[in-house]
Amino acid sequence: MLQLQRPSRMQSVPQESTPAGAKGHPGRATKWFARLLVAAVMGALLPALVAAPAQAGSCPTPSTDPNGRPLPAGSYVCDYVPTYRLYDSRGHVFVVGTDSANSIHHTWQTSPTGPYTGWVNLGGTGRSSVGTHLYNNSSGGKAIEIWVVGLGNVKYCKNYNGNVGGAWWPGQTAWTSNASSCRSF
């Protein structure tokens, strides 16, 4: 009777360079090394990609608002376009600034036909253009909420005349990510 013998497996990978479970399997060692290399590269690059601000550089703020009224000089992160909003019959412009924190900056008209103020830092860290939402507050008055995607891809907001008459809430430079306090999300 004829007996067939099973071919022997390749045993050419030295044990000291073979990861656990790959002994006797050169393909496994290569795959293991490739996975290790990818993990190392991703581990080094991912934190920088997730937390880094846009790198498109600094752009000068527009010289006028959409109605042709002069805006104060300034700069913003080019990837995040300025946001214009008419609120309380006055123009308001919001930008992600080029300061080290990429803070949100705001300028507004002093009256419906008046000039704009200088840029005011509202704090926060922007990783998106500034969004706006107009609404009626609990007293029936007009309020504005602004929001931005910040660090960790978390949405943050603040409002003016929504909770505190005549002031930003939760504060001039403070922001909240509490969804029950933000109407935009």
For residues 175 and 43, the model is more confident at 175
C-beta separation of 143 from 135 below 8 A? yes
pLDDT at 155 exceeding the cut of 80 = yes
pLDDT of the residue at 165: 66
CA dist 73 and 107 (Å) reads 11
C-beta separation of 59 from 78 below 8 A? yes
> What is the arithmetic mean of pLDDT over 140-153?
93
> Each residue of 28-48: b (16+ CB within 10 Å) or e?
ebeebeeeeeeeeeeeeeeee
Q: What angle do CA 134, 136, 139 make, to 5 degrees?
A: 150
Distance (Å) of CA 70 to CA 24, 77, 85, 123:
74, 20, 15, 24
Of the chain, the percentage scoring pLDDT greater than 90 comes to 57
Residue that has been written with the tokens 């002994």 in this structure:
23
CA dist 43 and 109 (Å) reads 47
Q: Model confidence over 6-47: pLDDT tens digits?
A: 444 433 333 343 444 545 555 554 554 445 444 444 444 333
For residues 54 and 115, the model is more confident at 115
pLDDT of the residue at 26: 56
pLDDT of the residue at 17: 39
pLDDT of the residue at 40: 46
Structure token digits, residue 56: 């498109």
Q: Model confidence over 62-83: pLDDT tens digits?
A: 999 999 999 999 999 999 999 9
pLDDT of the residue at 140: 84
CA dist 94 and 140 (Å) reads 25
